[in-house]
Copies of this chain bind each other. A is one copy, B any other.
Amino acid sequence: MTVDIKRLILGKRLQTKDLPHQAISKPIGLAVFASDALSSTAYATQEILIVLSFVAGAAIWTHTETLAGITAPIGHFALPIAIAIAVLLTIVTISYRQTIHAYPNGGGAYIVARDNLGEVTAQVAGAALLTDYILTVAVSISAGVAQIVSAFPELLPYRVEIALTVIMFMTIVNLRGVKESGVLFSIPTYFFLVVMFGTLIIGILRYFTGTLPTMPPGMEFDLHHETGLSFSLFLLLRAFSSGCTALTGIEAISNGITAFKEPKSKNAAITLVWMSSILICLFLGITFLSIQTQVYPVELPTVIAQLASVIHGENTFFYFLVIAGTTLILLMAANTAYADFPRLAALHAGDGFLPRQLTYRGGRLVFSWGIVALALFAGLLIVVSGASVTFLIPLYAVGVFLSFTISQAGMVVRYNKISKLKPGEVVKGLETDMTYEPSWRFHQIVSAVGAVCTFVVMMIFAITKFTGGAWFIVVLVPVLVYIFFQIHRHYKEVAQALSLPRTKVDTHARPIQTLILIDNVHAETARMVNFAKSLGTPWKAIHIGTNPERAAQIRAKWDERIGEGTFEVIDSPLRLLAEPIREYVDKLLDETPDGYVHVIMGQLVMDTFWEQALHQNSAFIFNLALAGLERVVVTNVPYQIHHEHDSEGHDHMVAGEKAH
């Protein structure tokens, strides 16, 4: 009995009707969809501080700078930056509530853009989002591993290996299919929320009672990044754009509206507001306490680990709880992308902009190809970056903000269309129905403000982080869109070339000339001759003679053992196989302009891969050579050879089908 490794790892196959249809409540929905957004608080503050430290290195709490009349230690500028990000988050949240109501069946940027702005914009939004989902996996796992190595510095040399192991594990889990069963998914999110809010409350209490310590100044640590830049608005904007990674993931709920209980849109919108509020509290709290405790602006130990050690004491139970909670939610965030990327890729593929294979649900009902592609790209990013969050941050979030902008611009266009409807009129849309709304102008202004804000932020991103890596995304997205349209054109053209008139096709019988390709004369040969004879079409045997003596031997064997039909040798002094047969077939085709040439070849089929590897697959060469010829049909006659135990228990090989 053989063990089915695939089934062991991936589980048994599921039927299409097993797709889950279970609706989830708001608290569960929050847990399922919020991990991506909430987890970004694990690195957003830290990345702001790292950019600020470009000026004065570790001295961000003593080195004072003045901007617009405000004089403060440079690190203190993190708080106004965080507040600006919170305002931006509020705007985007209000704007996205509208999208959720307008697209109750799911209003991701791709769908909104396709519905309102046309194919090209939709592809741009999709390309940006797909890129960003890959980065979500790479950044979240890198940040999660950073928490672990902050607590266990002896693991530092194995960062990349740990991150790759996590990716591999997550890929297998997702290929099995994650039942988004809510309860399991809410544990890490609520665990993180409890631990993190607990920590923030304790920290703030200790601040007000004057017992909050600061990190010991002058402690040695490596900055690992440039310093000595001059302080400027440009640098502040760069810090702002690094902090804006906090906004990644807030679009998750708009993709998943259908998962909520009725009234779906209302529940989803409320959950979005909850999520944003929590996110703002966490982000501002972490930033405030980071300033008060004067953390080091470094990637390792992470700012979260530093805060936990200052507030709870290093290596205490609560310290490890914070590390564990943060790591867990970061891994959950990566897992979100494992659901989003394949689903979006399947949408693209369904519209013919990505390879069709991406739309096939595997044995476990998941989009297996998309999962594997995501894992490969994210793994590559982790290897290239050495699992460093700071290295990846400049690439990150440009795509998300581009999709925010497109999605909201789409909503502006949509409200324009709605304004032209008569009160009470309903228009069937591609995705969702449109009805007149009296307050359309207000909604439109909200979407427009959101779109302008996110567009401005995106430009700030692209400019301030351009040399740091954002250039790559700026180049990549148009290239992807170009490729998507090339693929689309290909599918359209193939469909065109294959299309039949809507009438009955003429399929009158044509003459067939059968050729049997012979390498030697043995049992497999006899099988091929037998099949050709059974077909009843005219046939002859062909041998490619790379060696004249051998060809003569084979002819003799043919006469002795087969002894019927024509046996013809095609000389091939250059020991080529494909070219001589192709020429021969070409000639036959010319002789019978209406007929088929039917080439029969044998194929030894062994039990195992290794045994198969011992037999030259000339069939493969012939297939390749003949595939380009019209009116040529290739038949493989398999001949099975397998092991069998005789009555005395000896293993030997016999021809024919294996008993099963």
Contact = CB atoms under 8 A, between A and B. Distances in A.
Contacts of A636: 623, 627, 633-636
Nearest to A512: B534
Given A531-B596, A573-B16, A640-B628, A498 B524 contact: yes
Interface in A607-660: 611, 613-616, 623, 626-641, 652-658
A15 B504 contact: no
A224 interface: no
- Interface range for A: 35 or more
A357 B612 CA distance: 12
B16 A494 contact: no
Interface stretch (A89-97, A295-303, A557-565): A557-565
A181 to B, nearest CB: 22
Contact of A637 (B15, B511, B535, B633): B633
A507 interface: yes
B563 A13 contact: no
Interface stretch (A109-117, A427-435, A485-493): A485-493
Contacts of A172: none
A7 interface: no
Given A628-B605, A632-B638, A614 B490 contact: yes
Contacts of A13: 574-576
Nearest to A359: B616
A77 to B, nearest CB: 42
Interface string A495-515: 011111111110111111000
A179 interface: no
Contacts of A628: 605, 638, 640, 657-658
A547 interface: yes
A603 to B, nearest CB: 7
Given A502-B560, A534-B510, A627-B605, A356 B491 contact: no
Given A523-B497, A633-B637, A656-B630, A536 B507 contact: no
Contacts of A657: 628-631
A253 to B, nearest CB: 30
Given A509-B533, A636-B633, A655 B487 contact: no
Contacts of A536: 509, 536-537
A21 interface: no
Given A524-B498, A531-B596, A363 B574 contact: yes
Interface string A15-53: 111000000000000000000000000000000000000
A73 interface: no
A547 B16 contact: yes
B500 A521 contact: yes
Contacts of A357: 616
Contacts of A561: 500-505
Contacts of A546: 16
Nearest to A507: B530
- Listed residue (A15, A490, A503, A629) with the most chain B CB atoms within 10 angstroms of its CB: A490
Contacts of A436: none
A573 B611 contact: no
B512 A500 contact: no
26 contacts: A13-B575, A356-B616, A361-B575, A363-B574, A490-B614, A493-B652, A494-B615, A494-B653, A496-B653, A497-B653, A498-B522, A498-B639, A498-B641, A500-B522, A500-B523, A500-B561, A503-B561, A510-B534, A511-B534, A598-B635, A605-B627, A627-B640, A629-B638, A629-B640, A633-B635, A635-B635
